[in-house]
């Protein structure tokens, strides 16, 4: 089969469903956007910058809001020629310390041809920083030196001057960089250069650097990922007082979805270093509908989707804790399904399938991440479930667990530990726990499988690689019970089992 273009793809512009797409309008975040504006307004007003910390659970629009506001500010600053702002955005997702974050940020500038001039100005003669080896303080020195060079003088001014020089008949043999240098070193013999400069400023309406305030705002997204080694968050606001920078007004905006991290920051930051805290609330179903309708309209062709898909996707997204990303992802997956089926319309059924698939993936991941002991506990509960013996108490499933852990792991835990495992798995949504208090001295809870997906559990158990060296964590007894139930339950399950094998 060769490739031919799908003729009736439901997508008008699938790009708008991508993670990094910034919509024309950020909906349902008026309060949050206002608070970000308040922080950035300081720059417009040419006043002291404010440091901020943005908190909110996943998918509440933190990243999109800050990028949206940054864009808005950059557009607005075109109207004011006495401030110059640079935004440094760094996602810390795959970084584990401030040291690594500092290297990543420094290199993003060192490798950017737009900032070629840094190599001439810096006291560092390599193309980029190595990912390890340099002392931490040295890395920070370079980073702050870079920040201090992200100025109007070295960027906009330099290029405006260059353009003016090329146009002007004033002089032929002077480069913009010579003029800039002459400006900073005051000396008698510079007077000619300074005259040229002044003429150029006047003739081409160029703002001299001394009349411009430089702001550098560093956005550290998912900053909780750098854990407790997060000193960069504190070093940036202090860098001016500590004389690490002198040309710029630095500020930091930290973003996180980790409530524990937020609390730890509050206890760490002293009063001299206050971060303005902005909290992003969970989306309600109406807000999600607005967001998803906006996306669906842009993503799909006009008659290529049922209107009901957005309320449905919103309901699923709301169940996921109000996560807009989840809803957008459902639209994207539903569209792909429709396309694959050559269906001309994306329907509710496609959204449902997409949701079920995502849910299965999530459960698979959670199950896969369990410890060996926990997996064996799950196997035991599944065994009883297959025999119609759930909900089951810890006491009743314990002998089964003991048999399995003894044969597969060579060791078993005391009932109390097993109770912890059961509790954890019910918190993860793998087991359903119900209160079955029967009186003093009796165990209080009974457990059954929550999302009954036997195939998935069997797959995870079979793929496990326990430390003891035995292959998999699949007890023969469980396989037998599964086959038995598949037979009695008719062909459907049997077919599913075969497809699994």
Ligand X SMILES: Nc1ncnc2c1ncn2[C@@H]1O[C@H](COP(=O)(O)OP(=O)(O)OP(=O)(O)O)[C@@H](O)[C@H]1O
Interface residues with ligand X (CB under 6 A) are 19, 23, 26-29, 56, 58-64, 257, 291, 324-325, 328
Least separation in angstroms between residue 254's CB and Mg ion is 12
- The smaller minimum CB distance to ligand X, of residues 12 and 141, is found at 12
C-alpha distance across the termini of the chain, in Å: 28
Token match 């400006």: residue?
183
Least separation in angstroms between residue 20's CB and ligand X is 8
Nearest Cα to 391, choosing from 431, 418, 420, 355? 431
Least separation in angstroms between residue 252's CB and Mg ion is 16
Least separation in angstroms between residue 70's CB and Mg ion is 14
- The smaller minimum CB distance to ligand X, of residues 19 and 308, is found at 19
- The smaller minimum CB distance to ligand X, of residues 60 and 183, is found at 60
Contact (CB, 8 A) for 334 and 351:
yes
Q: Is 261 left (phi over 0), alpha (psi -120 to 50) or beta?
A: alpha
Least separation in angstroms between residue 321's CB and ligand X is 11
- The smaller minimum CB distance to Mg ion, of residues 63 and 332, is found at 63
- The smaller minimum CB distance to Mg ion, of residues 63 and 347, is found at 63
Q: In Å, what is the CA distance from 77 to each residue of 145, 211, 249, 345?
A: 24, 15, 16, 44
DSSP H or E segment with residue 215: strand 213-221
Residue 36 contacts which entry, Mg ion, ligand X, none (Cβ below 5-8 A, type-dependent): none
State the Cα torsion 244-245-250-256 to the nearest 10°: -30
Contact (CB, 8 A) for 303 and 345:
yes
SS3 319: helix
Least separation in angstroms between residue 291's CB and ligand X is 4
Query: Is the CA virtual torsion 409, 410, 415, 417 positive or negative?
Result: negative
- The smaller minimum CB distance to ligand X, of residues 294 and 353, is found at 294
**Angle at CA of residue 219, ends 213 and 224, nearest 5°:** 150
Least separation in angstroms between residue 33's CB and ligand X is 9
What residue is closest to ligand X based on CB? 61
Give the integer Cα–Cα distance in Å for 205 and 199.
10
- The smaller minimum CB distance to ligand X, of residues 312 and 328, is found at 328
Least separation in angstroms between residue 44's CB and ligand X is 23
- The smaller minimum CB distance to Mg ion, of residues 67 and 301, is found at 67
**Side-by-side strand order, sheet with 392-393:** 392-393, 445-449, 431-435
Residue 288 contacts which entry, Mg ion, ligand X, none (Cβ below 5-8 A, type-dependent): none
Nearest Cα to 54, choosing from 249, 286, 253? 253
Contacts of residue 427, defined as CB under 8 A and 6 or more positions apart, other chains included, come to: none
Helix ranges, 149-284 (H): 156-167, 176-184, 191-203, 232-238, 259-268
Least separation in angstroms between residue 259's CB and ligand X is 11
- The smaller minimum CB distance to ligand X, of residues 26 and 409, is found at 26
Q: Under the rule (CB under 5 A), what is the footprint of Mg ion?
A: 63
**What would the DSSP string read from start to end of 66-113?**
HHHHHHHHHHHHTT-TTEEEEEEEEE-TT--SHHHHHHHHHHHHHT-G
Least separation in angstroms between residue 59's CB and Mg ion is 8
Neighbours of 123 (CB within 10 A): 7
Residue 201 contacts which entry, Mg ion, ligand X, none (Cβ below 5-8 A, type-dependent): none
- The smaller minimum CB distance to ligand X, of residues 60 and 367, is found at 60
- The smaller minimum CB distance to Mg ion, of residues 71 and 434, is found at 71
Query: Is the CA virtual torsion 399, 404, 406, 409 positive or negative?
Result: negative
Least separation in angstroms between residue 221's CB and Mg ion is 6
Which of 435-457 are b and which e, b meaning 16 or more Cβ less than 10 Å from the residue's Cβ? Answer: eeeeeeeeeebbbbbebebbebb
Residue 200 contacts which entry, Mg ion, ligand X, none (Cβ below 5-8 A, type-dependent): none
Nearest Cα to 10, choosing from 341, 244, 330, 286? 341
């Amino acid at each position: 089969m060769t490739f031919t273009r799908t003729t009736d793809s439901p997508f008008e512009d699938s790009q708008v469903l991508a993670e990094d797409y910034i919509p024309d309008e950020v909906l349902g975040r008026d309060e949050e956007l206002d608070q970000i504006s308040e922080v950035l307004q300081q720059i417009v007003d040419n006043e002291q910058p404010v440091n901020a910390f943005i908190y909110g659970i996943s998918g509440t629009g933190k990243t999109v809001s800050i990028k949206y506001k940054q864009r808005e500010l950059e557009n607005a600053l075109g109207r004011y020629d006495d401030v110059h702002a640079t935004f440094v955005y760094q996602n810390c997702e795959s970084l584990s310390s401030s040291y690594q974050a500092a290297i990543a940020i420094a290199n993003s500038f060192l490798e950017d041809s737009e900032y070629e001039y840094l190599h001439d100005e810096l006291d560092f003669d390599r193309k980029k920083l190595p990912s390890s080896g340099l002392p931490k303080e040295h890395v920070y020195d370079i980073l702050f030196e870079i920040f201090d060079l992200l100025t109007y003088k070295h960027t906009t001014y330099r290029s405006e001057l260059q353009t003016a020089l090329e146009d002007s008949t004033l002089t032929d043999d002077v480069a913009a960089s010579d003029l800039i240098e002459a400006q900073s070193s005051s000396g008698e013999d510079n007077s000619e250069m300074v005259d040229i400069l002044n003429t150029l400023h006047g003739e081409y309406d160029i703002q001299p650097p001394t009349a411009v305030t430089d702001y550098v705002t560093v956005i550290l997204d998912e900053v909780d990922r750098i854990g407790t080694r997060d000193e960069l968050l504190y070093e940036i606001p202090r860098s001016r007082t500590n004389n690490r920078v002198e040309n710029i007004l630095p500020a930091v905006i930290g973003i996180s979805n980790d409530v524990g991290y937020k609390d730890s920051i509050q206890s760490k930051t002293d009063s001299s270093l206050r971060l303005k805290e902005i909290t992003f609330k969970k989306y309600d179903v109406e807000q999600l509908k607005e967001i998803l309708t906006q996306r669906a309209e842009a993503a799909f062709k006009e008659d290529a989707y049922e209107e009901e898909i957005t309320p449905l996707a919103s309901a699923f997204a709301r169940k996921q804790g109000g996560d807009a990303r989840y809803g957008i992802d459902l639209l994207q997956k539903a569209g792909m399904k429709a396309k694959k089926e050559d269906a001309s319309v994306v329907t509710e059924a496609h959204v449902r399938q997409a949701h079920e698939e995502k849910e299965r993936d999530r459960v698979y991941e959670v199950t896969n991440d369990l410890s060996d002991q926990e997996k064996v506990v799950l196997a035991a509960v599944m065994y009883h479930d297959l025999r119609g013996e759930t909900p089951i108490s810890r006491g009743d499933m314990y002998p089964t667990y003991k048999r399995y852990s003894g044969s597969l792991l060579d060791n078993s835990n005391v009932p109390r530990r097993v109770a912890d495992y059961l509790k954890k798995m019910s918190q993860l949504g793998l087991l359903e726990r119900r209160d079955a208090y029967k009186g003093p001295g009796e165990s209080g809870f009974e457990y059954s499988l929550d999302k009954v997906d036997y195939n998935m559990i069997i797959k995870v158990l079979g793929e496990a690689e326990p430390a003891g060296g035995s292959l998999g964590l699949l007890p023969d007894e469980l396989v037998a019970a599964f086959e038995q139930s598949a037979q009695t339950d008719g062909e459907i399950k049997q077919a599913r089992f075969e497809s699994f094998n």
